[in-house]
Amino acid sequence: MSALIQLRDLSFSYNKGKNNQVDAVRHLSLEIEKGDFVGIVGVSGSGKSTLLYLLAGLLEPDCGEYIYDDKNITKISESRKAALRNSDFGFILQDFGLEGDRTALENVCLPLVFSKCRWGKMKKKARAVMERLKIDDLCGKKVNELSGGQCQRIAIARALVHEPQVILADEPTGALDSENKKILMNLLSELNRDGITVILVTHDVSILSECNKVYKLNDGEIETVKK
Ligand SMILES: Nc1ncnc2c1ncn2[C@@H]1O[C@H](COP(=O)(O)OP(=O)(O)OP(=O)(O)O)[C@@H](O)[C@H]1O
Ligand SMILES: [Mg+2]
């Protein structure tokens, strides 16, 4: 059986062809199996977030191929890509990407809005995932009145609420204290044991022990650390 994710010679530059061009990902090839727990490390600016955006189909590679679940993502339409992103991917963004003037519960519900789920059912699902992350007390609070760590946990709940196949997590423990870091890592491990593929970008080497594969990005090029 072929790997869930296959990247072949993928490259991406910001400001392509301009004098401020940045080659953020260079000739990157990588295979990720269903059920892998992958860690990606690298210094600031090495291309980690760019790689996650490419995996989520939010950026279009300049060249190379991206195969997900036997579908050639580099060839499918924007609308099919958006539908796939909605059904299969949960993205914990580095800057959270929450709507500040909406409540925590409304933010967590957002991925379900596209799934034609009823409002009552949406709220029930969102509350359940917030309970699991021990943030159900924040349901009615506006996001712009919350702390960085609380926002991070809401971003995590939002990434999990639609039960994705793949979790893309960009520094998910960056704003968490040690207790909440442990809760999150236990949760990611539990989801991984249920068969969900986790791809985690981090500076925190203490959480890499959970990963069965670890890669390092050096200036957009990938190196295997543990396989
Ligand atoms: N929107 C953008 N326009 C132009 N250049 C960008 C843009 N976003 C990122 N870059 C550049 O691309 C390179 C890779 O950036 P990226 O955000 O992927 O790094 P990173 O490894 O996630 O860094 P960090 O650990 O600081 O989050 C960097 O040199 C960065 O300055
Ligand atoms: Mg980043």
pLDDT at 71: 95
Domain boundaries, the chain: 5-226
Helix (H, G, I), strand (E, B) or coil at 172: coil
Ligand 1 neighbour 95 (Cβ under 6 A): no
Q: Using the mean position of ligand 1's atoms as its centre, give its distance from the Cα of residue 46 in Å.
A: 7
**Span 118-155, pLDDT tens digits:** 999 999 999 999 998 889 999 999 999 999 889 999 99
- Name the CATH code of domain 5-226 (choices 3.40.309.10, 1.10.8.100, 3.40.50.300, 3.40.50.720): 3.40.50.300
Q: Which of 138, 140, 198, 117 is nearest to 165 (CA)?
A: 198
Q: Which of 175, 209, 173, 168 is nearest to 191 (CA)?
A: 168
pLDDT at 1: 72
Q: Using the mean position of ligand 2's atoms as its centre, give its distance from the Cα of residue 219 in Å.
A: 13
β-pairing, 22-32 with 37-41?
Answer: unpaired
pLDDT at 68: 97
pLDDT at 44: 93
Ligand 1 neighbour 42 (Cβ under 6 A): yes
Residue spans of the chain under pLDDT 50 = none
pLDDT at 94: 85
pLDDT at 117: 81
Identify the residue whose tokens are 């909406």.
102
pLDDT at 150: 92
DSSP state of 103: B
pLDDT at 226: 84
37, 213 Cβ separation under 8 angstroms: yes
Ligand 1 neighbour 13 (Cβ under 6 A): no
